[in-house]
Structure 1
Amino acid sequence: MKLDRKTLLLISGATVLFVFAAVLCIAAWSIATAPASGLERPKVTDWMQAWGSIAGVFAGLAAAGAAAALLLHERHRAATAERLLEQERAENALHVPRSVVALPARFGGGVNPNGEQYIDQVHLAVYNHGSTGIRNVAVIVALPEGGPRLLLARAAMLGPGGRWPIDQKSGKPVWYPGPSNIGTLDATVTLCFIDYTNQAWRITSDGEVAPTTTPYFEAEGAAEFPVV
């Protein structure tokens, strides 16, 4: 833990008091063991006064140590409380995007005279199970097995408890090179939208949830059923 200036001063002061107490202990021991010749030998009251001073120093040292320990404890409690608050805020922020889901995409299409598969229709639905509306909703469908990404329609607003069915046809069929039949494709659906706090989100059908500052970069300049 990184200590601030006040805590360092407390620890330094306690260290100084300890050194001072040690010096007093040495002085008291010298007085107690001084030879009888020469000056008058210190009396019992002198010893009691010296040891009383040392006890006072140790009491002050203990008080300083307790104050420093209390300060460190309060700092730790404050840091823990702040960390828990941040975690709670992060969980609350994720409540809105986790309430928005998309059903798996289904596709319509066929095979051209050259034997190439194509897609000309996408069906899916977006649900907002949250208690607040979302806006500027965009849908991107990524086809598996080397297939393209399809940029679908947008919705200006999807209210709380709202359902947005998408049954979008393409005026220009999209070639799909994958070996799987288009009727059995397991595509990844990405939703981009802005919540009521003006935060932009990007979520996918595989569970990824992430804030973003450019939620519609995939769809810039896109026409109906374009390929990225």
Structure 2
Amino acid sequence: MEARSLNRYAAAAAIVLSSAAVMISLVAMVAVTATYTAPSDREQPKITDWMQAWGSIAAVFAGLLAAAAAGAVLRQERKRNEEARLQRIEDRQEAGLAEASAVIYSRLLFDRGGRGLSGVQLDVQNFGQRAVIDLDVVIMLRDGRELVLDRVPVVPPGGVSVKVEDRRLAEDPPIPFALEDGTAKALLHFADLEGTRWKRYGKGKPFRLPRTMGATTGSTT
């Protein structure tokens, strides 16, 4: 609606400017015609000569003004299209972030073995409207260890819990029981159906990853 209004205004401006140019040309034609005196050795121009000459000049002015108005309309249209394109990109990014924010984990639990922690499990839920794929989970321990769990191919939408686990940790040296103190956090890597990969550490805000970057452990920023 706004674009059509701008186009109508521009077209109206072109008509007004063209009409003004014609009127100015007519006034100038009348003034010059009334005051012009040909040299003594030449015949005084006829009214038809004046009309033809000034008509050509008026047409040139009108054409130039119309071209300028058309150019202004074109520039405005290009600007509007570019703004609309950027708005679509921003809308898609916001929608993607909202979907990524809907992927969470809960119930991060450890198994206890004879010498230390022997297993880990957590539930991942996707409360978004679309599935996410290729979920990689890395458990970050406060002593710097990273426990990489098996990839989950698909996490469906709707909030259904998907269990991700490794019940037979083979860490050497064993993971001390003291690390089961609530400081462990999960780093989630996953992709949306648009092919964008996301990273989310703990309960923080998801971040987009470059298209060429897959799941990378050891980074929490």
- Overall identity of the aligned pairs, in %: 31
Q: Deviations over 1:120-168 (max 9, x none)?
A: 5545321111233334422102234x52222134434332221124565
Question: Are 1:90 and 2:102 counterparts?
Answer: no
SS in 2 for 1:38: coil
Aligned pairs for 1:158-177 (under 5 A) are 158-161=155-158, 162-166=160-164, 168-169=166-167, 170-172=169-171, 173-174=174-175
Could you say which structure has the greater relative contact order, defined with CA pairs below 8 angstroms and 6 or more residues apart?
A: 1
Helix, strand or coil at the partner of 2:154 = strand
> What SS does structure 2 have at the residue aligned with 1:103?
strand
Residues 50 and 196 of structure 1: is their aligned pair in 2 closer, same or farther, counting only changes over 3 Å? closer
Compared CA separation, residues 62 and 196, structure 1 to 2 (3 A): closer
Report if aligned partners of 2:101, 2:206 keep a CA contact under 8 Å in 1: no
Whether the 8 Å CA contact 2:108–2:121 is kept in 1: the answer is yes
Q: 2:189 aligns with which of 181, 192, 200?
A: 192
Q: What amino acid maps onto 2:146 in structure 1? A: R
Match of 2:21 in 1: none
Deviation at 1:191, TM superposition (A): 1.5
- Name the CA distance, whole Å, in 2 between partners of 1:107 and 1:79: 52
In 2 relative to 1, CA 203–76 (structure 1 residues): closer, same or farther, beyond 3 Å?
Answer: same
1:55/1:72 CA distance change after superposition, 3 Å:
same
2-structure distance, mates of 1:136, 1:167: 15
SS of residue paired to 1:183:
coil
Residue number among 197, 200, 203 corresponding to 2:199 in the alignment: 203
- Aligned-pair Cα RMSD in Å: 4.0
**Paired residues of 1:133 and 1:160 also in contact (CA < 8 A):** yes
Q: Distance in 1 between matches of 2:102 and 2:60?
A: 63
Q: Could you give the per-residue CA deviations for residues 31-77 of structure 1, whole angstroms, max 9, x where no partner exists? A: x6666432234456544543333222211111111222222222222
Task: Give the Å deviation of 1:101.
Answer: 1.1
> Larger strand proportion, structure 1 or 2?
1
Partner of residue 37 from structure 1, selected from 36, 40, 51: 40
Q: Quick one: structure 1 residues 107 and 147, their matched pair in 2 at CA, closer, same or farther if it must change by over 3 Å?
A: farther
Q: How does 1:37-76 map to 2 (within 5 A)?
A: 37-42=40-45, 46-76=49-79
* Aligned counterpart for 1:77 among listed residues 76, 80, 85: 80
Superposed CA offset, 1:58-98 (max 9, x none): 11111111222222222222222222233333344444423
Q: What TM-score do you get using the length of structure 1 for normalisation?
A: 0.59
Distance in 2 separating the partners of 1:217 and 1:203: 9
CA contact (8 A) 2:104 2:126 kept: yes
Alpha-carbon distance between aligned partners in 2 of 1:153 and 1:40, rounded to the nearest angstrom: 102
Contact 2:139/2:146, CA 8 A, preserved across alignment: yes
Gaps of 5+ in 1: 1-24, 113-117, 220-228
In structure 2, what is the Cα distance between the partners aligned to 1:40 and 1:202?
A: 87
Q: Relative to structure 1, is the Cα distance of residues 123 and 59 closer, same or farther in structure 2, using a 3 angstrom cutoff?
A: same
Q: Is the 8 A contact 1:104 1:189 kept in 2?
A: no
